[in-house]
Amino acid sequence: MTEQEPSPHAPPLRRFRDPAYVPLADNLAQVRERIDALDTQIVALLAERGRYVKDAARFKRDAFQVSAPQRQQEVIDKVKRLAEQTGAYPEVVEACYRALIAGFIAREQLHHQDMIDIDEGQP
């Protein structure tokens, strides 16, 4: 085992046994450029998702409703199905979503604590 980081511009060191495998890039630098571009999109999407999670707090009465465990399970089930359909690694998708939802709920709880009830009696 070397303690050296891989060389970004070097040619491939290994190949897949599957002769049908189609490479996506010429070198590691190219692979990383594409990963970086995807991360930019993913973080922008997470920001948008977070704005909707914040808005959801307006429709909830208490901490249990913020947590909404049944909805959490629906989201996990749905993304696992999507992973199967799209070829994403299902265990990665599930782990990401469990972490994401936990983080989003924590934020939503903070927003919820910072809100006031709408008084139904008001004209």
Ligand X SMILES: C=C(O[C@@H]1C=C(C(=O)O)C=C[C@H]1O)C(=O)O
Give the other-Cβ count within 10 Å of 66's Cβ: 21
Which of 27, 28, 30, 67 is in the footprint of ligand X by CB under 6 A? 67
| Nearest by Cα to 8 from 24, 39, 30 | 30
Which of 79, 93, 105, 112 is in the footprint of ligand X by CB under 6 A? 105
75 binds ligand X (CB under 6 A): yes
CB of 85 to ligand X, least distance (A): 19
38 or 99: CB nearest ligand X: 99
What is the size of the binding site for ligand X (CB under 6 A)? 11
Tallying the residues shown for the chain, one arrives at: 123
68 binds ligand X (CB under 6 A): yes
CB of 14 to ligand X, least distance (A): 39
User: Per-residue x/- mask for ligand X, residues 24 to 63, rule CB under 6 A?
Assistant: -----------------------------x--x-------
Residues of the shown chain interacting with ligand X in the complex, contacts defined by CB under 6 A: 53, 56, 67-68, 71-72, 75, 101, 104-105, 108
